[in-house]
């Protein structure tokens, strides 16, 4: 079942990778960390993906509740692994990316954060991110699952 879940969530995984690359590249284009550049949030993307993939998990994916939970866990964990990796690469490479910004890590704009202090919230998020993903996918299925199309909805030639 887990391999079926991983095949099912390929699009959210691809989108998370693209958003990570875009957010990482902001430092090379000297885009300041702020409201506009911060709108590319990997956490928000993971939560929204968890909601809509949870909603379609039964009718489109054919998953039971265990599958829906695995969908949320997978999306949440993958997103946090990307964030953790990008933060670690930024610290190890001494790169001034949005992943090591003081506002993003400890909520203090302009603060210089050490690697030891900065990796703590990212490590905690490796546990909390999947939990949030599970909640999002379960909410999506429970609240919005009835809105999901079936594979034959809108098929041409009926």
In tens, the pLDDT along 75-116 reads: 999 999 999 999 999 999 998 888 888 887 877 777 888 899
> What percent of the chain lies above the pLDDT cut of 90?
65
pTM: 0.90
Asked if pLDDT for residue 38 goes beyond 70, the answer is no
Q: How far apart are CA 43 and CA 27, in angstroms?
A: 19
Helix axis angle, 42-55 relative to 115-144, nearest 10°? 20
Q: Which residues contact 137 (CB under 8 A, 6 or more apart)?
A: 50, 51, 53, 54, 57, 68, 69, 71, 72, 73, 75
Average pLDDT over the chain, rounded to an integer: 89
90 burial type by CB count under 10 A (0-12 exposed, 13-18 middle, 19+ buried): buried
Q: How far apart are CA 35 and CA 132, in angstroms?
A: 23
pLDDT tens string 15-31: 999 999 988 888 888 77
Output 58 or 151, whichever has higher pLDDT: 58
Q: What is the pLDDT averaged over residues 136-145?
A: 96
CA distances from 47 to 44, 75, 129, 132, 134 (A): 5, 8, 9, 7, 9
* pLDDT for the residue 97: 85
């Amino acid at each position: 079942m887990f391999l079926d879940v991983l095949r099912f969530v390929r699009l959210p995984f691809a989108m998370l990778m693209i958003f990570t690359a875009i957010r990482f590249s902001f430092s090379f284009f000297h885009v300041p960390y702020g409201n506009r550049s911060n709108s590319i949030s990997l956490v928000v993307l993971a939560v929204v993906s968890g909601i809509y993939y949870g909603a379609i998990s039964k009718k489109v994916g054919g998953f039971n509740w265990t599958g829906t939970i695995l969908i949320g866990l997978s999306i949440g964990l993958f997103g946090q692994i990307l964030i953790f990796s990008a933060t670690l690469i930024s610290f190890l490479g001494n790169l001034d990316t949005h992943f090591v910004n003081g506002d993003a890590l400890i909520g203090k704009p302009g603060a210089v954060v050490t690697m030891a202090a900065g990796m703590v919230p990212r490590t905690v998020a490796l546990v909390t991110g999947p939990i949030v993903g599970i909640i999002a996918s379960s909410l999506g299925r429970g609240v919005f699952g009835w809105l999901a199309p079936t594979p034959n909805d809108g098929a041409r030639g009926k």
